[in-house]
Amino acid sequence: MIELPETYVLAEQINRTLVGKTVLNATANASPHKFAWFSGDPAGYQQKLAGKTITSANPGTGYTCGGNTEIVCGNMLLVISTPIKYHAPGEKLPPKHQLWLEFEDFSGDGTSSMTCTVQMWGAMLCYQRDQNGLPQSYKVNKAPTPLMDEFDKPYFEKLFSNTAPNLSAKAFLATEQRIPGLGNGVLQDILFNAKIHPKTKLEKLTDGEIEGLYKSTKETLFAMTAQGGRDTERDLFGCPGGYKTILSANTIDNPCPVCGDKIVREAYLGGNIYYCPTCQPWKK
């Protein structure tokens, strides 16, 4: 699933490609999915969005919180946590999609559009913004992302000190939206670069390891974003990201790039974790 790096990449691409386009038709929930979420009745998206022009996009940092792609369409705000794909005029649409925006830019080949297709789960929320530009009926606790200057060492240390010491490193990074947009996908390389086992309890970490985790969180997410997202995900044009993941389903059969040991994959806290038992020893 897309996470923080991909939302930054998608927002930048949307600002270059879709801003100025006006919605002709909006179709939501054409292919019902058990884990696709909408705000209100999906049938109402046509009335909410038709005739609205896309004016901007951001990686969830403008109105709600990081980790979603936010698209401003006139007085409406789309908050999307799924992959987003742009289709040039005449390009074939995916056979299944949960959101389809068709734009008023007819050419000889037809109109351009964008689609969202849920993989495991995803939200495609649509809210009217109030006089302050904020979405109505959608309240979240805004928090800085690790790609922002506000996410500094004191802020990280406060997050750490306010977390139960018996939680694991994975639980600290990727649960309860402590760091919006940081999920099970990006945390694998963050922990590898910090040399911390996903199951190690926070109380077992030394001051040096805590500092290393902070630096790895900032630096790893920056590298993922600067290189166009991870190679396990696709951008607005359907291209995989340029960041080569160290630990992911793409690399499970590869030896550890540092020591050559066999990478381990196992289920933990509702998803798979990947780690090198030599470089990331479990401090039980």
Report domain 153-275's class: mainly alpha
Share the mean pLDDT of the chain. Answer: 93
Question: pLDDT digit string (tens) for 208-245?
Answer: 999 999 999 999 999 999 999 999 999 999 999 999 99
pTM over 0.75: yes
Question: pLDDT digit string (tens) for 102-133?
Answer: 999 988 789 999 999 998 899 999 988 876 66
Contact status, residue 265 vs residue 184, Cβ threshold 8 Å: no
Nearest-angstrom CA–CA distance, 102 and 114 = 7
Contact status, residue 222 vs residue 147, Cβ threshold 8 Å: yes
Domains of the chain: which residue ranges?
4-128, 153-275
Nearest-angstrom CA–CA distance, 248 and 6 = 16
Of the pLDDT bands very low, low, confident and very high (cuts 50, 70, 90), residue 176 is confident
Please give the structure tokens belonging to residue 11.
Answer: 């927002």
The superfamily (CATH) of domain 4-128 is: MutM-like, N-terminal (3.20.190.10)
DSSP code, position 40? S
Please give the structure tokens belonging to residue 74.
Answer: 């006139």
